Structure 1
Amino acid sequence: MKNMCVGVLLCAVMLTCSAALASEAPTVLSVGVTGNERITSEYILGVVETEPGSPLERDILQKDIEAIYNQGFFSFVDVELRPEATGVAVTYSVRENPVINTITFTGNTIYKSETLMKEVFSQVGTVFNRAFFRNDLDRIQERYHKDGYVMVRIADVRVDDGDINIYILEPRVGEVIIQGNKKTKTHVIRREIKLKKGDLFNVVHFRHHLGKLQAMGYFEDVNVGFDTPDGQDDVVDLILTVKEKKTASIGLNLAYGTESGFSGGLTYGDTNLSGLGYNFEVGFEEGDEARYWGNISSPYMDKDTFAWRIGVSKWNYEDRFYHYQGKKQFEYDEKALSAYAGLGRKFGRDEEWSWFFTLRYLDVKYKNLHNAIPGYHDDLMKWSGTNVSAELQFTLDRRDPYLPYPKGYVWETYLEQALEALGSDFQYLKYWTQFRYYYPLNQFIDGLVDVDNMWTEDSPILFAARIRIGSSTKDELPAFARYSLGGINSLRGYHSRSFEGSNVILGNFELRVPVQQNFSLVGFYDVGHASGSLDWGNLKDNYGIGLRVKTPMGQLRLDYATGGDEDRTYFGFGEMF
């Protein structure tokens, strides 16, 4: 902006009234303004302290000049003192700023000029006001910063005879430098940072990428630095310094279950095998539910990178309980060998869509039916055999990726085909779809309830819902392929696998209420049924409360449900959906 100048001329009074000033200050006879064309004298004089009838004081005159100048409408302010017989007349001389002809923007690519003009209160055809315009610039910059463009700044403003040009500097990403990684391959880290060279830097997006990087579990710490190359004010280099931690672990477990009795086992896993981001695990458990397994997967996917998984497991379960329509029927033994291999990738312009294809093999034997109740129902033992199936999953994920909580929805559709042509003893087609929805409720609660630090913009009260419905081409599916409900991840008021069949409907509804930064309360309601037919009049339901606690190991989950024959308590990790 052009420099504005302020001057005070007291020469007249010093030359003609020096004697009076030396002995006694003259009286102010009148106060006026000259030079103003559009700004009224009343508005200008509204900020001066010098008044008719008061003694003339140099300090107050100086304050008056500064106050008029600070009104923002003038490029020059002076004062003239005209001696008269009984005192002195005070006249403030002003030079108005030019009338605004145009306001233009240069360098803006994020927002159109029309959008930025909505933040500008200064209008074409009015006198340029320096103070008002400074607030306009603050609002423009605040608009950028609020949307995450915190490095954008007003680089220059030029005012030329009423034509105003605002130059905006929008920094773009230069180099992304990654250092400190010894095991993890650089490309594994870099692919999580979606910012490319030449992209506009947005701190909200960048914070999201960092969150995903830290959630990988490979690093104790991730530090970020910024650097501007010499002579390139519109470029910012990102410097990521990581401190790695051990990702391999050995687990030893000992457990007791009412159905399974005592069991124990050993596992070895690495969530970053060879620094390539692969998940690897092998393990075994011994006891009434003996199991051996091994799997490896690469979970990362985008439109150019395939995710994949391969696994095999073998188990030998003794004295398992079989339930029919929520009631225990008998005990049995189960022996099986299972293997799978899958491949998937994202697609679509914004990579909201993804697909995953999986081939599955299962050879299962049910035997040794015992401890049956009188008149028991057996819909299990006849289903021993080999099953080979292909599963195709499509997912549309429209949750906001830049929020620290889920908002939006996820729609998933599955097709599972078992074919005798693939060597299977069974042939069927299963199809089901699932919809998950998340919505923050703070806007409806604010003003009704005022509890400090319980819920914030980044940790709101959240409504979460999941609807699942599925069917098949067979009225009767093999026992291992049936839809099942009951337990910690479906109908929480019922025993695991209480309801099974070739059709399923399920609804889970939760109200998640933050209490403190690391604690949340959850109220929930579950309703659904699985059977040979969709019987809407025979739905089972339950309700309950839960507690969520954030810990270094992850989010702990405790649910207490009332429904069915008895109340049930569950302990686990993460949300149910």
Structure 2
Amino acid sequence: MNLNKYILIVAGILITLTSFSQDYLKPQEYEIGPIFIDGADNFDPQAIKAIAGLRQGDKIMIPGEKITQAIRNLWEEGLFSDVQIYADKIIGDVVYLKIALQPRPKLSFFTFSDNVSKKEADKIRPEIDLFSGKTISENLVNTTAFKVRAFYIEKGFYNATVNVVRKEDTLIANSEYFFIDVNKGNKVRIRDINFYGNESIKAGKLRRAMKDTKTKAIWRLFKNSKYNRTAFKRDKNNVLNKYNEFGFRDARIVRDSVYLINNKNLGIDIVVEEGSKYYFGEIEWVGNTKFRSGYLDTILGIKKGDPYNKALLEQRLFMSEDGRDITSLYMDRGYLFFNLTPVEISITENNHINYQMRIVEGKEARVKNIIIRGNTKTNEHVIRREIRTKPGDLFNRNDIIRTQRELAQLGYFNPEAFQVNPIPNPQDGTVDIEYTVEEKSSDQIELSGGYGAGRIIGTLGLSFNNFSTKNFFKKGAWQPLPSGDGQQLAIRAQTNGRFYQSYNLSFTEPWLGGKKPNSLSVWLNHSQFGNNFKRKDPDYQGVSISGFGVGFGRRLKWPDDYFTSYHELSYQYYDVKNYSNIFAFDDGYSNNIAYKFMLSRNSIDNPIYPKEGSKLTFSAKATLPYSFFDGIDDYSSLTSQERFKYTEYYKIKFTGEFYFPLSKDKKLVLMPRFGFGMMGAYSQAKGISPFERYYVGGSGLTGINQLDGREIIALRGYNDPQNNQGVSSALGDPIVAKYTMELRYPISLNPSATFYVLGFVEAGNTYTSFNKFNPFRVKKSAGLGVRIFLPMFGMLGLDYGFGFDKLDPHSNGYSNHNTTIKQKGFNGVLHFTIGMNLGEL
């Protein structure tokens, strides 16, 4: 109870006492007669009497405690600014009481001064919780001013002042409105953070331990330097945690002060008392039968004499990110009911802390039931086949973590909403495991139009990533398409009429037979472009390309089950009629029959925004060595069409990408990537095939171009090769090298619209022969970009890159690009990208 309220209650009691002509030292008993209420027309009289605790017919001592308590009861409701109880009249031993009340005014509305923006006001309203009809009190006024000022302090306006002015509302009786007058003042930043008493740990290390309280600096992009009371309190604990890491477990902050240096800068002084340094002493294991004490010491990794670090000890005992902890050791072997209690048993004179690790191993738990919830679209068997915890198996926490990754890789569920709930059954030593998923859209549509070569080109593409052929002929399954069996079906058509048409169809069954993760893929494509005449017309000029392929993939168990292999047999037929500047010949045909092998290891945790893991891929593609048995020694007399009637080559590629989280919440991610590719010939006389070559430059938007199997590889900051300005030769090159480094940060990880920004540096080049190959002679660039993933359209992005190097003389864009470099010192290009890895090796 505040002082003003206390004074008013006392005054009310005194007024009440003086209203009775009575000897105060000789209280007299009365019977309460009728009770009258005055001044509270909007309140229920019976409710007021009930709150006061006075009832007609009761006996009451005057003066006495009951009147005092009645006044106190009415005051505590907070509805009245004045409360009086007095005797209206006394007849014999019956007293007629009157309760005189002055209701507090009600709030009709509130408004802010003009310097408060609409955006700020919208954020403040939920904090102050004001509404029409709310009873006004001094406490409400003070609380409102405090909360508004706290809002601006959080925004960096440390000098902000707030005055809540009460004004009478003449339109509504007994009502007032608030005018909240805000003076923000200058934005104040932290200039200095000073530590005193820190003899063992440098101030710089302590400042770095403060995650959210930072001094202002031009290089600080993700942490600003505004003062936040809550964050500062949290960071003071971080300072103590840093001391604890070095063995100073008695360290404490004696005092701290936050002060204004000037009207734009704050200073913070922190005085610490380090205390004595402690060390780990003897560590004794008790109750362990599964593992020897020496092996547990090795897993723990803490030796006698190491500086005492409680956080490290708890991490190694209970939960380490790399799985190196005692609890994981037991739980990965079925000991779900395992319990470990570290107990400090003594501290020696030289500050060595001796521990006894008390272990209760419990029974080995086996998985009994697997429960799946939340799958409204995906069939249960699709989820169950990815789950590593099988009924009857020993409980294994690592299998649960791996299951989470495998389900995320499917792309059907929101990885941020994935939940696992082990349900132990101690009576029979089993555990039920409940997996809860949240479905998200995985199908994609591409509907676009473009203008090129004087014509409009339209594209329609559909990708169904959770398709079901089994339900294809079931009428009720078309909602709008049969789905839920995890198959992938993609259809794409592109045309601008007779001049250009392209059709693609692909289908993948990821679990052929339903027993093992063996995938079967089939694809078909057909493209044709020409001069608008029909093919039978003698004036027809054009190219027709048709192909198909069959692929078989397997998940391997060795070296580990992150590895997969893929085998593919493909056939591509090129038919050229009177058409130049595309292929090595103007008239004729060529057959491309090739076998492809791919070995890949993928431990990336999330396909949309990976935070950790890696992906390494080795691939080889080759045709038959026709030159070994075609009986031709001299190809110089043959035409290009005759030489490449059956194209021959071999290609080898090796690529890798890695993801390293740099922040504690794993949102800031560093992604390095590299790739090498080479193409060779079986016969030097016949030469390297003109098909399947590498083209570098631009956004890599076209990925693998179906014109001649060329691979167009992105290099931001340089122009696209199809514009005759690329890094590579006009007909492509047989060798390529590329390196990329990206720093990524998400703005939103919502599965319906994942959005992140990135900065990149990259370098790459192609080479005309092995003699010219130099992995360090590359074209460098840097820039910024954004990516947005929409389930319906896939990954979209914009990059602006700056290329810094002149192109080699063999490059298709040699003259134009180098002219720009000479004039500006850089070549700036805006790139539009589609897809996750299109345009990469």
- Matched with 1:146 is 320
Question: What pairs up with 1:202-281 in 2 under 5 angstroms?
Answer: 202=397, 206-207=400-401, 209-219=403-413, 222-232=418-428, 235-242=430-437, 244=439, 251=445, 253-259=447-453, 261-274=455-468, 275-281=484-490
- Matched with 1:386 is 591
Secondary structure in structure 1 of the residue aligned to 2:658: strand
CA distance in 1, matches of 2:782, 2:616: 24
- Number of residue pairs the alignment of both structures matches: 435
- The correspondence for 2:735, drawn from 499, 504, 512, is 504
Deviations 1:428-448 (A, max 9, x none): 231212131436384xxxxxx
**Higher fraction of strand:** 1
- Matched with 1:435 is 655
CA shift, 1:279, in A, is: 0.3
Using the aligned pairs only, state the percent identity. Answer: 16
CA distance in 1, matches of 2:364, 2:786: 41
- The correspondence for 2:797, drawn from 538, 557, 560, is 557
CA distance in 2, matches of 1:531, 1:182: 54
CA shift, 1:527, in A, is: 1.8
After TM superposition, the score normalised by the length of structure 2 is 0.44
Contact 1:558–1:569 under 8 Å retained in 2: yes
- The correspondence for 1:113, drawn from 283, 296, 301, is 296
Any stretches of 5+ residues in structure 1 without a counterpart?
1-99, 123-134, 321-331, 443-454
Contact 1:120–1:139 under 8 Å retained in 2: no
Question: What pairs up with 1:287-436 in 2 under 5 angstroms?
Answer: 287=496, 288-299=499-510, 304-318=516-530, 333-347=542-556, 348-369=558-579, 379-381=584-586, 384-397=589-602, 404-408=610-614, 410-418=616-624, 425-436=645-656
CA shift, 1:312, in A, is: 0.6
- Matched with 1:469 is 677
The Cα RMSD (Å) is 4.6
The one-letter code of the counterpart of 1:271 is N
Moved more, 208-217 or 275-284: 208-217
Contact 1:297–1:309 under 8 Å retained in 2: yes
Deviations 1:257-277 (A, max 9, x none): 334831224444421222321
CA distance in 1, matches of 2:548, 2:312: 62
Cα gap change, 1:383/1:238 in structure 2, threshold over 3 Å: closer, same or farther? farther
CA distance in 2, matches of 1:494, 1:314: 28
CA shift, 1:525, in A, is: 2.1
The one-letter code of the counterpart of 1:226 is P
Instruction: Check if 1:570 corresponds to 2:828.
Output: no
Contact 1:108–1:170 under 8 Å retained in 2: no
Contact 2:649–2:689 under 8 Å retained in 1: no
Contact 1:188–1:276 under 8 Å retained in 2: yes
CA distance in 1, matches of 2:796, 2:590: 39
- Matched with 2:157 is none
Secondary structure in structure 2 of the residue aligned to 1:210: helix
Deviations 1:72-112 (A, max 9, x none): xxxxxxxxxxxxxxxxxxxxxxxxxxxx9964233656994
CA shift, 1:359, in A, is: 0.9
CA shift, 1:170, in A, is: 8.2
Q: Which has the higher Rg, Structure 1 or Structure 2?
A: 2
CA shift, 1:296, in A, is: 0.4
Higher relative contact order (CA 8 A, sep 6+): 1
- Matched with 2:246 is none
CA shift, 1:280, in A, is: 0.9
CA distance in 2, matches of 1:395, 1:462: 21
CA distance in 1, matches of 2:320, 2:766: 47
CA distance in 2, matches of 1:404, 1:462: 10
Secondary structure in structure 2 of the residue aligned to 1:405: coil
Question: What pairs up with 1:160-199 in 2 under 5 angstroms?
Answer: 166-169=359-362, 172=365, 174=367, 175-179=369-373, 181=375, 184-197=378-391, 198-199=393-394
- Matched with 2:693 is 482
Cα gap change, 1:552/1:254 in structure 2, threshold over 3 Å: closer, same or farther? closer
Secondary structure in structure 1 of the residue aligned to 2:584: coil
CA shift, 1:559, in A, is: 2.1
After TM superposition, the score normalised by the length of structure 1 is 0.62
The one-letter code of the counterpart of 2:287 is F
CA distance in 1, matches of 2:661, 2:378: 40
The one-letter code of the counterpart of 2:761 is F
Deviations 1:311-359 (A, max 9, x none): 1111113479xxxxxxxxxxx8432111111112132141243321111
CA shift, 1:290, in A, is: 1.2
CA distance in 2, matches of 1:439, 1:245: 24
Question: What pairs up with 1:74-89 in 2 under 5 angstroms?
Answer: none
Cα gap change, 1:394/1:139 in structure 2, threshold over 3 Å: closer, same or farther? closer
CA distance in 2, matches of 1:137, 1:143: 10
Any stretches of 5+ residues in structure 2 without a counterpart?
1-281, 345-354, 469-483, 533-540, 631-643, 701-712, 749-754, 804-812, 818-827
The one-letter code of the counterpart of 1:280 is L
The one-letter code of the counterpart of 1:146 is S
Contact 2:424–2:430 under 8 Å retained in 1: yes
Contact 2:340–2:357 under 8 Å retained in 1: no
CA distance in 1, matches of 2:409, 2:599: 24
Cα gap change, 1:510/1:316 in structure 2, threshold over 3 Å: closer, same or farther? same
CA distance in 1, matches of 2:769, 2:668: 41
Deviations 1:409-468 (A, max 9, x none): 61413132246599x9314231212131436384xxxxxxxxxxxx44513441513131
Cα gap change, 1:540/1:389 in structure 2, threshold over 3 Å: closer, same or farther? same
CA distance in 2, matches of 1:264, 1:117: 62
